[in-house]
Amino acid sequence: VIHERPSNPGAGDEDRPIGFGRIQRKEDPRFVRGKGHYLDDIVLPGMLHGAILRAPVAHARLVSIDTTNALAHPKVVTVITGKDLLGLKLAWAPTLSADVQAVLVTDKVRFQGQEVAFVVAEDRYAARDALELIDVEYDVLPPLVDARKALDPDAPVIRDEIEGRTDNRIFDWEIGDKAETEAVFASADVVVSQEIVYPRVHPAPMETCGAVADYEPVEGRLTLYETTQAPHAHRTLYAIVAGIPEHKIRIVSPDIGGGFGNKVGIYPGYILAVVGSIVTGHPVKWVEDRSENLMSTSFARDYIMQGEIAATKEGKILAVRTNVLADHGAFNATAQPTKNPAGFFSIFTGSYDLKAAYCTVTGVYTNKAPGGVAYACSFRVTEAVYLVERLVDILARKLEMDPAELRLKNFIKPEQFPYANKTGWIYDSGNYEPAMRLSMQLAGYDELRREQKEKRARGELMGIGVSFFTETVGAGPRKHFDIVGLGMADGAELRVHPTGKAVVRISVQTQGQGHETTFAQIVAEELGIAPENVDVVHGDTDQTPFGLGTYGSRSTPVSGGAVALVARKVREKAKLIAAAMLETRPEDLEWEKGRWFVKGDPSVGKTIAEIAMGAHGTVALPEGIDGNLDAEVTYDPPNLTFPFGAYICVVDVDPGTGHVKVRRFIAVDDCGTRINPMIIEGQVHGGLTDGVGMALMEIIEFDEAGNCLGGSFMDYLIPTAMEVPDWETGFTVTPSPHHPIGAKGIGESATVGSPPAIVNAVVDALAPFGVTHMDMPCTPARVWAAMQGRARPP
């Protein structure tokens, strides 16, 4: 069910034939016919296959490794151990967060599933078989599983290889004004507090991670096919880590079956494929299986948040404060801009006009897989939104106010934008009340509340959950945001061929978001070339300009800006050429989509195709114009963009089993100018489904021995079409004032906004039992336990 209700007159323009609008995805014919070209489709002559031996325990000294029997396997070519890597100075690799991570264990195992040895064999089966022929002796140590115990004086020190280290503290970070916040809390009528846990989850993309490394020793060239969301940043990092000159490295990122943050980092498997290729002189393919993906590549979240909210008794929210314990696993490999150890968590002030806010975050090591990626979110904005939206709901209950009304009362007002919040962000634009009202209207909010009252009287458990979120997406600017020293700006190059067909080269890498369509639409909108006549090239560092990659919904805010500007540059160049062709002055020309014409005489003009032919032909070109219609730019965005949305979820809870059914979900999103509404809806549907997974099903847990309990899809449950309702979507349009086309990101809004709406609905359904909070995932067992007034079962 789709309710598309434009909230402003301009929004109806979406069906224009050229440029923005609901056009079908250019990449889909390839995907629906099975012609996608993914990493595992790559087969090179003489290619060998790698497999990783992983640690069966979470914490142990490595006593010895004997590879004799594995090497005797007729199809095994080589076995690489940590000792070999020490010799190559590759045993430890820098992480994205100024730490190092073991590529293969040399001294101590630090999490279950950690990489211990790498077998290279003639085929994948032989490589996997040979893993069982490696004899490893471990001296098992007590594991540290509970982050709450990480800083206890008797906690085992996980990173004892770092000289002088005596504890598991990674960082302490604070933001906001502590004294001001304390003063506001001290004078508030009402204060509510709650421990809120955002559990460890995993992005679990459909395609797991993998690499094919092809090192060519004569010229010293490395071609690396990789499932990566950031090919250019990877190239630079490989050059630094492996010492291969950057101009001799080519990273190719083929079609990618979902990333969601899982494919941002550089994993040991990628580096091992490279080492394997250098050592054997053959291309080496490594592709992880599902359990390896869930157990060893980047997790997300894992924040234990102590939250407090202060308000007047009339429901004016005054301040929010929180202490966070962040479990980063065995190595600090969290992916985020360098200056932000807790990512963008500091936007926990949400969509509300506060007097004060303060937060501290302490990061700790535990015996768990490293990571902390932005799983379909912009660097911890998901945790921040979940915290504030749960707190607002708890406050509403305490004040006996309707949760939607409480939010409406506290929104930042339209005239307050650009809005400086209390932790240093400048929200670019927003108009929150219409979005909230539209979602209430689409939901039939008052009617739902009436229905709930009736059902409650009959003992039925119906819940209505509301959430409102503001996101921070599109890092840079580069002066504020870098990843390991690489500033977050993106390049774009545009070539218009003589016949008027165009190729735009971008630095971001799609993982299914439809960039081949939407970036062509941006060129189409700016130049008037039909989108089908614009090819989008991405995912090959030899073919595309430098840029930081796709994550944190930064493609449209950053590369989208770059593409609009490069098209405008071509348009301006076309104007000069058109003037020469028409023997007139450039200032006498006027633009209409696709064509420059003489002011006052629209019949005299030149289309972009005619101008392209002129530029490449024999027309005498004006001074300073070379013979083509090409341009390039690097776009350093002046600020992030701040999309927002209002979500309402309706659940029914089975009182006999504790099973939660999401009956309805209404999502109103505002991502500024909408390039392709169909793609936007697809992004929202996917994110909402993700939200159902996190709220109700997904968790990576560990037992006391440090065994990962979420290592397969039998244990780590992800939602299917069976668990989700027909999504009901709507939108408002509040353009970004600083983005060239006014667009904000959309890819992650729904993942960010939906978990609090669902949990708020579950808690609302359980209100008759006196339940005021429960932690995700709201599985039947946990819900049932909450209904019994008992602690959650083990």
Q: Which residues bind ligand CDP (CB under 6 A)?
A: 513-515, 518, 550, 553-556, 671-676, 679-680, 683, 743-747
Q: Say if CB 755 and CB 382 are below 8 A apart.
A: yes
Q: What are phi and psi of 620, to 5 degrees?
A: -70, 115
Give min distance, CB of 745 to ligand CDP, in A. 3
Looking at beta carbons only, is 621 or 752 nearer to ligand CDP? 752
Give min distance, CB of 746 to ligand CDP, in A. 4
Give min distance, CB of 567 to ligand CDP, in A. 14
Taking only Cα atoms into account, the Rg of the chain, rounded to an integer number of angstroms, comes to 27
Q: How far from 756 is each of 62, 245, 392, CA to CA, in Å?
A: 43, 47, 10
Name residues whose C-beta falls within 8 Å of residue 426's C-beta, 6 or more positions apart in sequence. Answer: 418, 419, 420, 639
Residues facing residue 307 across a β-bridge: 194, 322
Q: How far from 160 is each of 157, 313, 361, 460, 652, CA to CA, in Å?
A: 6, 51, 23, 55, 50
The alpha-helical segments, DSSP class H, found in 281-346 are: 290-296
Diameter of the chain by CA atoms?
86
φ/ψ region of 621 (left if φ > 0, alpha if ψ in -120 to 50, else beta) reads beta
Give min distance, CB of 517 to ligand CDP, in A. 7
Looking at beta carbons only, is 82 or 258 nearer to ligand CDP? 258
Q: Say if CB 342 and CB 324 are below 8 A apart.
A: yes
Q: How far from 655 is each of 335, 652, 664, 779, 781, CA to CA, in Å?
A: 41, 9, 19, 13, 12
**Omega before residue 476 within 30° of 0, cis:** yes
Residue in the structure block whose two tokens are 């579950």: 762
Give min distance, CB of 637 to ligand CDP, in A. 12
Give min distance, CB of 180 to ligand CDP, in A. 35
- The DSSP bridge pattern shows strands 371-373 and 299-311 to be parallel
Residues facing residue 93 across a β-bridge: 101
Break the chain down into helix, strand, coil percent, rounded to 5: 30, 25, 40
Give min distance, CB of 685 to ligand CDP, in A. 12
The alpha-helical segments, DSSP class H, found in 515-657 are: 515-527, 561-582, 608-616
Rounded CA-CA distance 86/294 in Å is: 27
Give min distance, CB of 675 to ligand CDP, in A. 3
DSSP state of 556: I
Give min distance, CB of 457 to ligand CDP, in A. 44
Give min distance, CB of 750 to ligand CDP, in A. 11
Which contiguous run of DSSP H or E holds residue 190?
Answer: strand 190-201
Rounded CA-CA distance 542/552 in Å is: 24
Give min distance, CB of 560 to ligand CDP, in A. 6
Residue in the structure block whose two tokens are 């602690």: 791
Give min distance, CB of 741 to ligand CDP, in A. 8
Q: Say if CB 520 and CB 536 are below 8 A apart.
A: yes
Looking at beta carbons only, is 90 or 534 nearer to ligand CDP? 534
Structure tokens at 75: 């199809």
Looking at beta carbons only, is 430 or 465 nearer to ligand CDP? 430
Looking at beta carbons only, is 20 or 267 nearer to ligand CDP? 20
Give min distance, CB of 551 to ligand CDP, in A. 7
Give min distance, CB of 671 to ligand CDP, in A. 4
Looking at beta carbons only, is 363 or 560 nearer to ligand CDP? 560
Residue in the structure block whose two tokens are 């008797």: 154
Residues facing residue 595 across a β-bridge: 592, 607
Which one, of 746, 423, 707, 700, lies nearest residue 556 by Cα? 746
Q: What are phi and psi of 149, to 5 degrees?
A: -100, 0
Rounded CA-CA distance 94/101 in Å is: 6
